[in-house]
Amino acid sequence: MRSILEIYTLATGQAHEVLAVDHRIEAPNWDPSGGSLLVNGGGRLFRVPLDAPALTAVETGFANRCNNDHGLSPDGKWIALSHHTDRGSEIFRMPAGGGVPVAVTADAPSWWHGWSPDGQRLGYVAARGGRKVIDVYTIAVEGGAERRLTRGEGHCDGPDYSADGSLIYYNCDRPDAGDAHAQIWVMRADGSGQRRLFADKWVNWFPHPSPCGQHLVYLAYPPGTTGHPADLPVALVLCDPDGKNRQRIREFTGGQGTINVPSWAADGHAFAYVRYEP
């Protein structure tokens, strides 16, 4: 398996290769400073400096089973990561330069997906009480009481905050809305006002609004796809924040690992993703 880390620039409508490796890396997240990308691979986290692309390991202490749900805080000082313990995936916070992670969530399983723009809250998905239904939650970055935003309407995933922090975008296969497969939804940051942006035949995951507030990018799987598997023919779709003017801008082999977490540059001029070759 070959992983190709790329950046798509909106002004040119072109993508360029940053780094290619002969193993799986996933989920690029852009440092707010603009100088590097954060990815995972083999249970570890790595920085990829854009001026000299290479995998540079981040010290994560005991967290050596990291999945692809990780990201830097808006001020670039912290990393939120999801690490598999004997209870399942749990969310931790650690200094961006590396260090010993500190637990944020008290319950498992929990998978991180987004920082609020003010850096005060984390958006994530979790299953609670022995249930298998995945819902959207938020929590203060220091931990404490979690706030449940969805209530088992369907499998929800990929929550990410809008540029002003007032909205959370996510995907959900919500039977009560007639959705037999994942579509893109949005709600207020307190969980109210849930609404579907649009409906189409594609299986749509991981919506990411741009930090400039002008765009939304998400991953479209082929019709009939279950979950968010790896190594399928997928497309990156760019649209307005309200779901209008959708354009399939890139098509390749990908899926799990392509854009699981926010991957926009801080000014919204470009975003990063990973595609794969056998």
pLDDT of residue 256: 98
pLDDT of residue 129: 87
- Which residue segments constitute the domains of the chain, with CATH numbers given? 2-277 (2.120.10.30)
CA distances from 157 to 12, 17, 124, 200, 228 (A): 31, 28, 8, 18, 10
Q: Does position 271 have pLDDT exceeding 90, yes or no? A: yes
Q: Confidence class of residue 180 from pLDDT cuts 50, 70 and 90? A: confident
pTM over 0.85: yes
Q: What is the pLDDT of residues 92-144, one digit of tens each?
A: 999 999 999 999 999 999 999 999 999 999 999 999 988 889 999 999 999 99
Q: What is the pLDDT of residues 42-72, one digit of tens each?
A: 999 999 999 999 999 999 999 999 999 999 9
Transcribe 245-277 into DSSP letters. S-EEEEEEEE-TTTSSS--B-TTSSEEEEEEEE
Q: What is the pLDDT of residues 26-40, one digit of tens each?
A: 999 999 999 999 999
For residue 164, give the nearest of 123, 122, 112, 212 by alpha carbon.
212
